Structure 1
Amino acid sequence: MALVLPGSSTVVRSVGDVVHWSLSTVAFAVTLPTRLEALLFSVERLVARINQIADNADRVVIGAAAVTVRAETLVEAVEQTSDIAGQLLEIYEPIALQLAPLAARFADDLSEAEVSAAIKLIDQLPELTDRVAAVLPILGTLDSVSPEIHELLGVVKDLRQAIVGVPGFHFFRKRGEAKLD
């Protein structure tokens, strides 16, 4: 007969629970390396993805910095252009306001034929300039030639009077006119 002590069943049950718990713990401990390996693999994949995201973010930041520099350059150029345009408006606005009625009248009165003629004239300006430049020196000497022309006219007048005074000149003149006809 076995002797059973009071409360021993509780102890046995408790020892059974401890053994069961120990076995569960051992089973968990046995699978722990595999689970840790899977967890480590997942963490490595997560770290690689985070690095990829960080690299992409770096490229985005670098691209944004380049765009910012270009935008600043563009803004400076626009500001300069705006300043120049403002200065030009200050200078030319009064002139434009003054000339607007005249320009409108000019545009209203201008025909297509006149525009075509103006274009042809502009096309011929180089040749016209060359010819005028060639004639200008001659025109500059006309003031010194003028007295000589007057003298020459006087001589021709005297010669004409002398010829008209020659007896029979009238006859020769009529005969010459008849031959020319």
Structure 2
Amino acid sequence: MRLPVPGPRDVLSALERGGDQLEALVGAVPRVLVLLDDAERLLVRASAAIERVREVTESANVVVARASGVVDDAGTQIGRVTHLLDELEPSLLRLQPTLETLAETTHADEVKALVRLVDHLPELTARVEGDVLPVLTTLGTVAPDMHDLLTVARELNDMLAKVPGMGRIKRRVDEEVGEDDTQETLK
């Protein structure tokens, strides 16, 4: 669209046509100056808008670069997780029925008890290592001693059986032990 700004030919043409045209031309000068001021203001505003668009574009480029890094990292992590799941899938599939049964049958109190047990594991380990294991290592030497003790107990039993009147005492003890066993069974 062409602006109606008079050029040099228009000025000469207006001079030829007369004074009315000259007055119209001189009256158009302030309008032209206003239009020029408006055009300058528009140019400043357009420059500012272009600068803002450039800043937004630069910021968007930074965000895109960061997003690209995040996507790359996510791709790496997805690859690692996929590899891990591929490796663990057979074991997890075999464990699935066990885990489902465990989830269905485990009560919250049992979980709390298990947590308490885990909390006590260091102390239990220390006691087993300090108290139980040393005793267990001596059990190999206790067996022959126990065998000797049993042999001596049999010999004493044989000797006591030869003492007069001991047979009746033994029967009475056996009867009492039998009655105690019967009463225990009934309870």
1:64-143 equivalences under 5 Å are 64-135=60-131, 138-139=134-135, 142=138
Shift in Å, 1:44:
0.9
Unaligned runs of 5+ in 1: 1-17, 162-181
Deviations 1:17-57 (Å, cap 9, x if unpaired)? x8893213321342344233212211111101111110111
Shift in Å, 1:87:
0.4
Deviations 1:49-100 (Å, cap 9, x if unpaired)? 1111101111110111011111101111111121111101111111111111
Q: Which has the higher contact order (CA 8 A, sep 6+)?
A: 2
1:150 pairs with 2:136: no
Distance 1:136 1:33, change over 3 A: farther
Computing the radius of gyration over CA atoms, which structure comes out larger, 1 or 2? Answer: 1
1:4-23 equivalences under 5 Å are 21-23=17-19
Structure 1 counterpart of 2:38: 42
Unaligned runs of 5+ in 2: 1-13, 157-187
Identity of aligned residues (%): 26
Give TM-score scaled by structure 1 length.
0.62
| Bigger mean CA offset, 119-128 vs 65-74 | 119-128
Q: Give aligned pairs, total.
A: 137
1:61 pairs with 2:63: no
Distance 1:25 1:93, change over 3 A: same
The CA RMSD over aligned residues, in Å, is 3.1
